[in-house]
């Protein structure tokens, strides 16, 4: 293809190739989602419709970009981990981030009605993204542990806050003042002693967030076949294929990683 005299402008592009042998994490966060949730009447403290829609959108991203080995989400954020050996988009950070963000945002709009029914989407949501590299398995696990710990802290606060408002009759200002300076034990005590709520019995989805991984699953289908005597009969066929599965479990401890050893790659370069 002939070159033009204007092609020199490509020299202004920055080289944003991600360092080799590192996990590439693309993390998305909802922009102004506090306002978005209020205007769309999200349930407090947690709206399972919104959490389901976030997970469905994340699954769409993973199905589009199969080099994402694990994704973790809570509230209005989701982190996508590309395997350290990925060569998608030549490991360009801008390409990876924009593809993840656009696929996630469009999926959020596309699947909205599936989760919110006739409740209208008043305006399109937006998500900002960042790319961070983690060179070792321990670094990556610590990152995901950080996000899950954040999920627990936020959910305990929100559960206590909205219980004080919805069941305790406090205003949002009064509830905020009541919880100022409290520790996790204090919030647990408020829930149990004043409202007979054992936080340990709360939904794992709300306490642990959502972890998406690739797993092999067996799918059984029924097929019609014609025998040599021209008689049709049904047979059952079982096939194994990789599928994105959802888990609301602890990913800070070792058990999850021992049960799914194929998520992480060897630290040996």
- Nearest residue to 52 (alpha-carbon basis) of 82, 73, 33, 71: 73
- What's the number of CA atoms in the CB half-sphere (13 Å) around residue 82? 30
Check residue 28 and give its pLDDT.
Answer: 97
29 is in an annotated binding site: yes
- Whether the CB-CB separation of 19 and 131 falls below 8 Å is answered with no
Lowest model confidence (mean pLDDT) among 29-33, 85-89, 133-137, 265-269: 265-269
- Whether the CB-CB separation of 103 and 28 falls below 8 Å is answered with no
Residue 14 has pLDDT above 90, yes or no: no
Check residue 229 and give its pLDDT.
Answer: 61
20 is in an annotated binding site: no
- Integer Cα distance of 167 and 180 in angstroms: 19
91 is in an annotated binding site: no
Query: At the topology level of CATH, where does 10-208 sit?
Result: Alpha-Beta Plaits (3.30.70)
Structure tokens at 65: 């970009």
Structure tokens at 198: 């054992």
* pTM of the shown model: 0.90
Check residue 227 and give its pLDDT.
Answer: 62
- Nearest residue to 75 (alpha-carbon basis) of 136, 127, 110: 127
Lowest model confidence (mean pLDDT) among 97-106, 183-192, 218-227, 241-250: 218-227
Residue 240 has pLDDT above 60, yes or no: yes
Per residue in 196-208, is it b (16+ CB within 10 Å) or e — as a string? ebebeebeebbbb
For all residues of the chain together, what is the average pLDDT?
Answer: 93
- Integer Cα distance of 202 and 90 in angstroms: 43
Residue 7 has pLDDT above 80, yes or no: yes
Going by pLDDT thresholds of 50, 70 and 90, the confidence category of residue 220 is confident
Per-residue model confidence as pLDDT tens digits over 52-72 = 999 999 999 999 999 999 999
- Nearest residue to 76 (alpha-carbon basis) of 215, 209, 248, 236: 209
- Nearest residue to 44 (alpha-carbon basis) of 155, 137, 168: 155
Residue 156 has pLDDT above 60, yes or no: yes
76 is in an annotated binding site: yes
200 is in an annotated binding site: no
30 is in an annotated binding site: yes
What are phi and psi for residue 128, nearest 5 degrees? -95, 160
- Integer Cα distance of 244 and 252 in angstroms: 20
Going by pLDDT thresholds of 50, 70 and 90, the confidence category of residue 1 is low
Structure tokens at 47: 């709206």
Per-residue model confidence as pLDDT tens digits over 18-53 = 999 999 999 999 999 999 999 999 999 999 999 999
């Amino acid at each position: 293809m002939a070159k033009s005299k204007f092609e020199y402008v490509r020299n202004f592009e920055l080289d944003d190739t991600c360092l080799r042998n590192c996990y590439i994490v693309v993390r998305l966060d909802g922009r102004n989602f506090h306002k978005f949730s209020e205007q769309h009447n999200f349930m407090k403290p947690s709206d399972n419709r919104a959490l389901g829609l976030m997970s469905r959108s994340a699954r769409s991203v993973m199905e589009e970009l199969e080099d994402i080995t694990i994704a973790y989400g809570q509230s209005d954020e989701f982190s996508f981990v590309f395997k350290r050996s990925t060569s998608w988009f030549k490991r360009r950070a801008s390409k990876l981030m924009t593809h993840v963000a656009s696929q996630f945002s469009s999926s959020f709009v596309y699947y909205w009605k599936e989760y919110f029914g006739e409740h209208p989407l008043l305006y399109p949501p937006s998500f900002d993204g960042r790319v961070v590299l983690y060179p070792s398995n321990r670094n990556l696990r610590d990152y995901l542990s950080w996000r899950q710990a954040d999920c627990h802290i936020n959910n305990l606060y929100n559960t206590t806050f909205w219980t004080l408002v919805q069941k305790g009759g406090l205003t949002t200002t009064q509830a905020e003042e009541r919880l100022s300076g409290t520790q996790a034990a204090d919030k647990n005590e408020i829930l149990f002693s004043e409202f007979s709520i054992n936080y340990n019995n709360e939904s794992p989805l709300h306490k642990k967030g959502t972890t998406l991984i690739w797993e092999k699953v067996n799918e059984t289908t029924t097929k019609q076949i014609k025998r040599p005597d021209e008689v049709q009969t049904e047979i059952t066929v079982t096939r194994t294929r990789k599928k994105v599965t959802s888990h609301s479990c602890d990913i800070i401890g070792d058990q999850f990683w021992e049960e799914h050893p194929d998520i992480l790659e060897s630290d040996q370069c």
